[in-house]
Amino acid sequence: MLILKSLNYSYSDLEPYIDSDTMNLHHSKHLRAYVDKANMLLAESNADFNGNILDTYNQILNSNSAQKQALLNQLGQVYNHDFYFEGLIPADSYQAPNGKLKTLIESSFGDIKNLEQELQEEAMKIFGSGWQWLVLNKESGCLELCSSNNALFPDYNSYTHLLVIDVWEHAYYLKYQNRRAEYLSGIMNIINWKIVDDRLKQ
């Protein structure tokens, strides 16, 4: 069974950039619904969750399950949300990138400010519901930005996932309404660069 992973911080800890009500709704209602529905569909499909979402995703992708697309949607949403929530940290614990990550950011984007700016610009372009990613291109060894729609994520055979920002409206609409740019600039204060560094080393 998939579980609803608990957060490494409380719902109010990302204030003022992401408000407590949004975090509560996002985690305890939206993510919980994806987890519950994924478990229900896995049971209906007689499919096993083997403890790793991406492995399970791949198994389903290569199966003939009647519920295939619905199941991929739920699993993708659980994976993306866990990745998003783990990539955030309370502002008072924020640490700018350093070491190898900093060097890589500088060689790929010039500097951290430029990366943050490009990240926000790309996230502004997403039409409909989607996700803004920072990834490592495994072939070139460079960092890249890319987006995915709905419940999709970048191909993990070609790209190491480093960071994702949820750009579905439910991630920001309560506080920011249609002001996506304000959500995006706010979230730059609560990026967990330490975990990005860990993900880079995996």
Q: Where along the sequence are the contacts to Mn ion (CB under 5 A)?
A: 166, 168, 171
Q: Which is nearer to Mn ion, 105 or 171 (CB)?
A: 171
Angle at 170 between CA 124 and CA 37, to 5 degrees: 125
Amino acid code (one letter) for 108: S
Please state the closest distance from residue 82 (CB atom) to Mn ion, in A: 11
Q: Which residue is nearest to Mn ion (CB)?
A: 166
Q: Which is nearer to Mn ion, 80 or 120 (CB)?
A: 80
As a whole number of Å, the end-to-end CA separation of the chain is 25
Contact 90, 186 (CB under 8 A): no
C-alpha 117/C-alpha 182 separation (Å) is: 12
Taking residue 56's Cβ as centre, other Cβ atoms within 10 Å add up to 21
Q: Which is nearer to Mn ion, 17 or 109 (CB)?
A: 17
Radius of gyration of the chain (CA): 17
53 φ, ψ (degrees, to nearest 5): -65, -45
Please state the closest distance from residue 160 (CB atom) to Mn ion, in A: 22
Q: Which is nearer to Mn ion, 34 or 193 (CB)?
A: 34
Please state the closest distance from residue 26 (CB atom) to Mn ion, in A: 6
Please state the closest distance from residue 30 (CB atom) to Mn ion, in A: 5
Please state the closest distance from residue 112 (CB atom) to Mn ion, in A: 25
3-state secondary structure of 130: strand
Q: Which is nearer to Mn ion, 27 or 68 (CB)?
A: 27
C-alpha 101/C-alpha 105 separation (Å) is: 6
